[in-house]
């Protein structure tokens, strides 16, 4: 579904077709110490505009290195583990839904920011923090700034196709997992996973263990749990709706399994502060 923004200036008005359906989060995050970390990106698109620090990480198996002046782009629930080499690591994070927008190719997920990227990110953050959350004008202005930011990033880079090369077992698994994340509402079985990637079931097991250190069934359970937690903390969906989205036909089974993994009920998890936040935002 295409979304329209109506821009009104005096008597004139025009419509802009926006590929972005919704902005879900804009925040500034600071991690003060060096060392290892693990996290998962949020559902939808997630952009980090890096303001300070230096990091080495693996995002869905991709090795990435970035620092001040870079932009990092994530898509859907990507597992991330890495090391903060230089602290503080400070970035503005922008999470939005754009179902028809493809992310940059895997080898272009870390890019240099455009000339105006940091300024636009700061403007979007200030509008998001200070504006009336129920205001249509705030939402429209935020959407316009986000589109300008995306164009500023992409306008400085030629996003060519990913080069073709032979895939090893780890690469095959990460490719399969991308597709599986779009199918978490379905009862995925090993046979279906093997069909997704065109490999034998035995090869799938080896590939998953090589990439994640666990068998496919355990990895799928982890993906469902992580996606459910993200939806609980970053969406207004009911627990029942979330249960259906992660493959459960009965909310009681979902609640039982969720508590077994996290030690909390879904409603308790919804009230918990998201783990990526280490401090309260300070307005500048």
Does 277 fall in a domain?
Answer: no
- At 17 the pLDDT is 62
Residue bearing the bigger pLDDT, 171 or 230: 230
- The answer to whether residue 197 sits within a structural domain is yes
Residues 126 and 191 in one domain: no
Q: What's 30's domain CATH number?
A: 2.60.120.280
Judge if 229 and 180 occupy the same domain: yes
- What number is the average pLDDT over the span 225-231? 88
Domain that holds residue 147: 3-154
CB 7 within 8 A of CB 40: no
Q: Residue 7 — pLDDT band, cuts 50, 70, 90?
A: very low
141 and 175 part of one domain: no
CA angle 38, 39, 45 (to 5 degrees): 145
Task: Examine the domain organization and report whether 100 and 178 are in the same domain.
Answer: no
Q: Which tens digit of pLDDT belongs to each residue from 250-260? A: 999 999 999 99
Q: Clarify whether residues 115 and 242 are in a common domain.
A: no
Q: What are φ and ψ of residue 250, in 5° steps? A: -125, 125
12 and 30 Cβ atoms separated by less than 8 Å: no
Residues 135 and 175 in one domain: no
Query: Are residue 120 and residue 175 in the same domain, yes or no?
Result: no
Q: In CATH, what number is assigned to the domain containing residue 219? A: 1.10.10.60
> Looking at the structure, do residues 265 and 226 belong to the same domain, yes or no?
yes
Count of H helices and E strands in the chain?
Answer: 9, 9
Arithmetic mean of pLDDT over the chain: 82
Is the distance from CB of 3 to CB of 20 less than 8 angstroms?
yes
* pLDDT at residue 183 greater than cutoff 80: yes
Cα(243)–Cα(225) distance, integer angstroms: 10
Same domain? For 139 and 205 the reply is: no
Instruction: Give per-residue pLDDT as tens, 199-209.
Output: 888 888 988 88
Is pLDDT of 9 > 60? Answer: no
Count the residues in the chain.
Answer: 284
* pLDDT of res. 8: 35
Compute the average pLDDT of residues 223-236: 86
Q: Are residues 93 and 135 in the same domain?
A: yes
**What pLDDT was estimated at residue 171?**
74
Q: Which two tokens stand for residue 116?
A: 């105006």
Read off φ and ψ for residue 116, nearest 5 degrees: -115, 5
Over pLDDT 70: what percentage of the chain? 84
39-60, pLDDT tens digit by residue? 888 778 999 999 999 999 999 8
Report if pTM > 0.75.
Answer: no
Domain presence at residue 159 = no
What local confidence, expressed as pLDDT, does residue 167 receive? 59
Is residue 182 domain-shared with residue 214, that is, in the same domain? yes
**Three-class secondary structure of residue 52 per DSSP:** strand
What's the pLDDT score for residue 281?
Answer: 40
Is 35 within a domain? yes
Provide the number of structural domains found in the chain: 2
**Mean pLDDT of the region 74-100:** 90
Domain end residue (candidates: 154, 185, 212):
154
Mean pLDDT of 63-90: 93
Asked, for residue 162, whether it belongs to a domain, the answer is no
226 φ/ψ angles, rounded to the nearest 5 degrees = -65, -40
Token representation of residue 202 = 């035995």
């Amino acid at each position: 579904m295409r979304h329209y923004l109506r821009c009104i200036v005096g008597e004139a008005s025009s419509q802009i077709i926006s590929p972005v359906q919704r902005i879900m989060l804009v925040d500034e995050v600071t991690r003060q110490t060096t060392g290892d970390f693990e996290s998962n990106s949020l559902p939808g698109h997630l952009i980090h505009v890096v303001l300070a620090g230096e990091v080495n990480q693996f995002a869905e198996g991709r090795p990435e290195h970035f620092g001040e002046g870079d932009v990092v782009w994530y898509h859907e629930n990507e597992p991330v583990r890495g090391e903060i080499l230089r602290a503080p690591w400070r970035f503005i994070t922008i999470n939005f839904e754009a179902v028809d927008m493809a992310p940059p190719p895997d080898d272009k997920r870390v890019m240099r920011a455009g000339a105006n990227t940091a300024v636009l990110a700061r403007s979007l953050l200030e509008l998001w923090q200070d504006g009336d959350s129920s205001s249509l004008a705030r939402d429209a202005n935020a959407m316009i700034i986000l589109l300008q930011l995306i164009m500023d990033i992409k306008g400085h880079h030629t996003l060519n196709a990913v080069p073709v090369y032979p895939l090893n077992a780890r690469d095959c698994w990460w490719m399969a997992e991308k597709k599986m994340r779009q199918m978490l509402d379905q009862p995925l079985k090993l046979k279906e996973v093997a069909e997704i990637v065109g490999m034998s079931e035995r090869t799938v097991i080896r590939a998953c263990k090589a990439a994640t250190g666990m068998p496919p069934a355990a990895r799928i359970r982890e993906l469902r749990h992580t996606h459910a937690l993200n939806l609980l903390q970053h969406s207004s969906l009911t627990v029942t709706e979330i249960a259906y989205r992660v493959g459960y036909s009965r909310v009681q089974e979902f609640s039982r399994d969720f508590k077994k993994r996290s030690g909390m009920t879904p409603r308790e998890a919804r009230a918990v502060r998201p783990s990526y936040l280490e401090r309260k935002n300070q307005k500048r």
